[in-house]
Amino acid sequence: MVSARQQATPSCPKSADLAKHHAELMVKVAQHQDWVAFQELFLFFGPRVKAMMLKAGADNALAEDVVQETMTKVWRKAGLYVANRGSVSAWVYTVARNTRIDRVRRASSQAYDDIDDLDLESDEPTGEDQAHLSQQATSIAAAVQELPKEQREVIELAFMHDLPQSEIAEKLSLPLGTVKSRLRLAYGKLKVRLEDYK
């Protein structure tokens, strides 16, 4: 096994540059089925999606499978990614999350798909969209990194480890209400940051 760390881009790159670069790669994949661009996206997201599945309790084989399935969807749906809806990372997260719901939790992600095509505008991304995306990525990155440790811990357990709020409460020996309020506080900070750039 080759360490993915040696292949992939640094683990904490500057968010604005990363967001812009990923958006450009997605355009190449969507418009030209560009395998070089897709491989770069794969080398960045594959190891991260796998880490996310292992944290959610998948074994190695299932985690590898989910990476294959997620990245197949990224290839197939690249034309649906639009920069004005957010960063490529956020979009890949939703594709991986839905695959996790179907494959790891054995539940159904159909409801997510049903509303996925609302608000989609298919116009070519404009310079304005790109600039907006970079600013937004910077502000979200800052918001997540500035979260107090206890809020960061709760969102990490929810988004990456796939723990329900009741299990987060149990794990951290907290009342359920405290877990909910930490999620609300974390979301509030994110929202304030995003509104700065509207």
Partner 1 sequence: MTVVHHLDDSTLMRFASGNVDEAFSVAIAAHLELCGQCRAALRAAESCGGRLLELTDVADIEDDAFDRLRDHIEGSEINLVQLKPSDARPARHADASETSIPKPLQCYVGLSLDDVTWTTVAPGVLKRDITLSTKTTNKLYMLHIAAGKQMPEHGHGGSELTLVLSGAYKDHHGRFARGDIADLDEHDEHQPRVDGDQPCICLIAAEGHTKPKGLVARLLRPIVGI
Site for partner 1 in 63-122 (CB under 8 A): 63-64, 67-68, 71-72, 75-80, 82, 85-94, 96-98, 100-101, 105-112, 114-115, 117-122
Other beta carbons less than 10 A from residue 109's beta carbon: 18
What is the identity of the amino acid at 101?
Answer: I
Q: Is 175 in the site for partner 1 (CB under 8 A)?
A: no
Q: Is 174 in the site for partner 1 (CB under 8 A)?
A: no
Q: Quick check: 182 and 176 in contact, CB under 8 A?
A: no
Q: Is 62 in the site for partner 1 (CB under 8 A)?
A: no
Least distance (Å) between residue 123 CB and partner 1: 6
Q: Quick check: 121 and 84 in contact, CB under 8 A?
A: yes
* Contact code string over 35-54 relative to partner 1, x by CB under 8 A: x---x--xx-xxxxxxxx-x
Q: Is 165 in the site for partner 1 (CB under 8 A)?
A: yes
Can you tell me the distance from the alpha carbon of 32 to that of 99, in angstroms, rounded to the nearest whole number? Answer: 25
User: What is the Cα Rg of the chain in Å?
Assistant: 17
